[in-house]
Amino acid sequence: MDNPLYDEARDSLASFAELLKSPEHMHTYQLSALSLWNALSAGLNAAQILDDLNRYAAYPVPETVAQFVRDQEVRFGRLKLVLAPDGDGLWLTSDDPLALTQVSRTKTVIPYLEGPIHPGYRIRPEYRGLLKQALAKAGWPVDDVAGYEPGSPLTLALRDQDSAGRRFQMREYQDDAVRAFWGEGRIDRGNGVVVLPCGAGKTVVGLGVMEAAQTHTLILTTSTAALHQWQREILQKTTLAPDQVGEYSAAVKDIRPVTITTYQMLTHRTHDRFPHFEALDQHPWGLIIYDEVHLLPAPMFRLTASLQARRRLGLTATLIREDGRAEDVFALIGPKRFDMPWKVLEQQGWIATAHCREIRVKLPEARREAYAVAEDAERVRIAAENPAKIPVVEELLAHHRDDFVLVIGQYLDQLEKMADHFHVPLITGKTPSRERERLYSAFRQGELPVLLVSKVGNFAIDLPDANVAIQISGTFGSRQEEAQRLGRILRPKSNGGQATFYSLVTEDTKEQEYAQKRQLFLCEQGYRYEIAHANADGSPREHWAPIIPFRELPR
């Protein structure tokens, strides 16, 4: 990062390599087949990529690396999916007959091929996504240039000021993300993923794409709370009227030119049918937006395979999937079109400066025997529900009495005990939507300074004044969850203040091992975890006496 060409090299690498780690001084990028397919899909070629590598490399680029880049270009361009010459369905074609021969003998691909039509194979439109998925897994990415259905037209524009009279304008990077996705409206563009940190305004990018598309739009979200958040943003920041924006949920099933629903509704199954998906699929959508696309549930991969004729935008803070299905996101949603490092946006003031601290708590003697004889899965729970965490939370709440604090956990029994102890409201998956909205609203308006949430609070909650998060337990070693929970407090603060993220971990247990795995993604983004310790009764050990502000703790 100290090199004078750092900014130039970073911008170049970001277009064809995946940023793995970005700590303070040395950033690490990875060239992979997937990162190169993304680059080639965006219009780069192997010669440009190798020119940039050679321009910025301190030493000659190894020939094996150069050959790897050229090999991916040859593979990416060899298979194309286009409209069939006779207008009947789609056509998988190639300038290389041997490549077609090879893929036509791949077991996972054979079920989707009809023909052959020389030179190529007919593909039924409903197999478009399944074919791309199968070919990507076999190492043969398809250049899909078959175009998209335009959908029913819809006139809308972004406002110069929102409905509350506040001046509204897209930020430069949001505008760049829209242009990168839309590709100036080319017929073969209009699918892919935009990666931006939590709090950076991914919803606004979605609105910008809707303005570019001017078509009926279906928006898929993770929860009813997220659904209502999208509804508010659309009505505040666009010229759409309330009767043009519909909600499709368990309570309301209202299909309008812009309709917002949840993944749970679309994947609801009755007797081997997906009735809500079938109802929504009848509408002439021209654009589908997948919010928090990294959380795409497994059934949605199958359903999304049948939505390939529509333009698709995925929005996410991280493409990390612990199940390794990033290639499915590439095949079915589209390549990554835009990415912005977390620390860059922090330096520019678009997200809050965050400080991360892990506080290690001893397991009381009375629980150590139960922990020692338990199976691994039960050990994780025993460590996570350590009662010594309660006085630590008490200490933190006292210290942050003037802040807005989210306490987030995995286990309901633990959260309920915390709620009873502190007389603080708790939101879980069982909390009715209306009550959730009431509590979130009270928190936003400053009437409720502390709120307990289960894993339903991991994503898509707009609580801009939340500046402290206390994580009391989590889902094993999920890096994705750690990033999402930090993201709850990253929205820039009106007073310019910082955000503080605490993770309470039981010392010398499986939970401590998992904490190291969970923190990996954030450490690679440039965040550091300071370590402090507490005794088994929750009282401060040597480094964090209450009189010392936590932001001044020695590392």
**365 and 335 in a common domain:** no
Q: Two tokens at 278?
A: 């079938």
Give dist(CA 512, CA 314) in Å, integer. Answer: 33
Which of 340, 368, 385 is the last residue before a domain boundary? 340
**359 and 316 in a common domain:** no
Encode burial over 343-359: b for 16+ CB neighbours within 10 A, e otherwise.
Answer: bbbbeeebbbbbbbbbb
**540 and 409 in a common domain:** yes
**500 and 393 in a common domain:** yes
How many domains does the chain divide into?
Answer: 4
Contact 259, 248 (CB under 8 A): yes
Which of 288, 305, 340 is the last residue before a domain boundary? 340
**128 and 12 in a common domain:** no
Q: What is the pLDDT of residue 333?
A: 83
User: Is residue 219 within a helix (H) or strand (E), and if so which, with residue range?
Assistant: strand 217-221
Q: What is the pLDDT of residue 4?
A: 92
State the burial class of residue 312 (Cβ atoms within 10 Å of its Cβ: 0-12, 13-18, 19+).
Answer: buried
Which of 315, 340, 365 is the last residue before a domain boundary? 340
- What is the residue whose two structure tokens read 């043009």? 244
Q: What is the pLDDT of residue 50?
A: 96
Strand ranges (E), 141-201: 143-144, 191-195
Give dist(CA 405, CA 428) in Å, integer. Answer: 17
Give the CATH number for residue 479.
Answer: 3.40.50.300
Query: Quick one: angle between helices 389-399 and 412-422, nearest 10?
Result: 50
Contact 191, 333 (CB under 8 A): yes
The reply to whether 1 falls in a domain is: no
Residues linked to residue 83 through DSSP beta bridges, in sequence order: 90
**53 and 180 in a common domain:** no
**419 and 302 in a common domain:** no
Q: Two tokens at 260?
A: 């917002």
**418 and 358 in a common domain:** yes
Phi first, then psi, for residue 475 (nearest 5°) are: -90, 85
Q: What is the pLDDT of residue 365?
A: 87
Q: What is the pLDDT of residue 544?
A: 52
| 317 closest CA partner among 467, 483, 463 | 483
The reply to whether 345 falls in a domain is: no
The size of the chain, in residues, is 555
**What is the residue-level pLDDT of the chain in tens, covering all 555 positions?**
889 998 899 888 988 988 777 776 788 888 988 889 878 877 889 999 999 999 999 999 999 999 999 999 888 878 888 888 777 788 999 888 888 888 889 999 999 998 776 678 989 888 888 888 888 888 888 888 887 888 999 999 999 876 666 778 899 999 999 998 887 655 556 788 898 888 888 999 999 999 999 999 999 998 888 899 899 999 999 999 999 999 999 889 999 999 999 988 988 888 888 899 888 988 999 999 999 887 776 777 777 767 877 889 999 887 766 566 666 777 778 888 888 878 788 888 888 888 888 899 999 888 989 999 999 889 989 999 999 999 999 989 988 988 999 999 999 999 999 999 999 999 998 888 889 889 988 998 889 999 999 988 776 567 777 899 999 998 776 777 887 888 788 887 766 678 899 999 999 898 888 888 888 777 777 787 888 888 766 666 765 544 333 333 333
The reply to whether 150 falls in a domain is: no
The reply to whether 93 falls in a domain is: yes
Give dist(CA 321, CA 177) in Å, integer. Answer: 22
Phi first, then psi, for residue 328 (nearest 5°) are: -70, -40
Q: Are strands 311-316 and 245-248 parallel, antiparallel or unpaired?
A: unpaired
The reply to whether 154 falls in a domain is: no
Between the two ends of the chain, the Cα-to-Cα distance in Å is: 24
Q: What is the pLDDT of residue 99?
A: 86
**195 and 291 in a common domain:** yes
The reply to whether 25 falls in a domain is: yes
Give dist(CA 313, CA 470) in Å, integer. Answer: 32
Query: Quick one: angle between helices 510-524 and 479-487, nearest 10?
Result: 60
**266 and 384 in a common domain:** no
Domain carrying residue 290: 172-340
Give dist(CA 400, CA 521) in Å, integer. Answer: 27
**402 and 274 in a common domain:** no
The reply to whether 151 falls in a domain is: no
The reply to whether 159 falls in a domain is: no
How much is the pTM? 0.79
**246 and 190 in a common domain:** yes
Give dist(CA 192, CA 180) in Å, integer. Answer: 9
Contact 128, 121 (CB under 8 A): no
